[in-house]
Amino acid sequence: EKYDLIMELFFFFYQYLEETVIPTLTSKDELINIVRFCRGFAEYVTLCGTTRSKLINSMYPNCEKNSREIECERPLFAEMKAIIIRGQKKGQIDLCLNPDEVTDMLIVMLRGYCFDWARRGGSYDLVEKTVTFAEFFVKNLKPNPLGLYGLSTH
């Protein structure tokens, strides 16, 4: 069944995440860990190929009514959110940012790049594009004395 196949793909991804990606998140700078996490995600998708990428990045593993809440508890979201919270505690990520929203933005970006890469038949370097965007994105997570959007609140 399609659902069983999707669940199996997610199981392999979570195993890869735990065994290969999470051990690389050793920097004291959590912004670097976000980029490493994104790189690991893209590397896994590249290993899986375009067909599996379309499945992984277009489906939630649970089709129930509360699947969004369930998905937020899964390793992909939970680990990224933990990195963001650590970064906020260390003063590396702006406290005005909601960790759930930042996590969601990053995961949507990752899935979007991976799905686009698959849709285009793997015609570009997914890891390079993902890392470039992640590096751009994390620059905007840093605390800004002028306020969240760079505008003075005074």
pLDDT tens digit at each of 154 positions of the chain: 666 766 777 778 888 989 999 999 999 999 999 999 999 999 998 988 876 666 666 555 554 555 555 555 677 899 999 999 999 999 999 988 899 999 999 998 998 898 888 889 889 999 999 999 999 999 999 987 665 555 544 4
The model's pTM: 0.82
Give the Cα separation of 126 and 90 in Å (integer). 30
- The answer to whether 73 and 103 are in contact (CB under 8 A) is no
**Vertex 109 angle, CA 68 and 18, to 5°:** 70
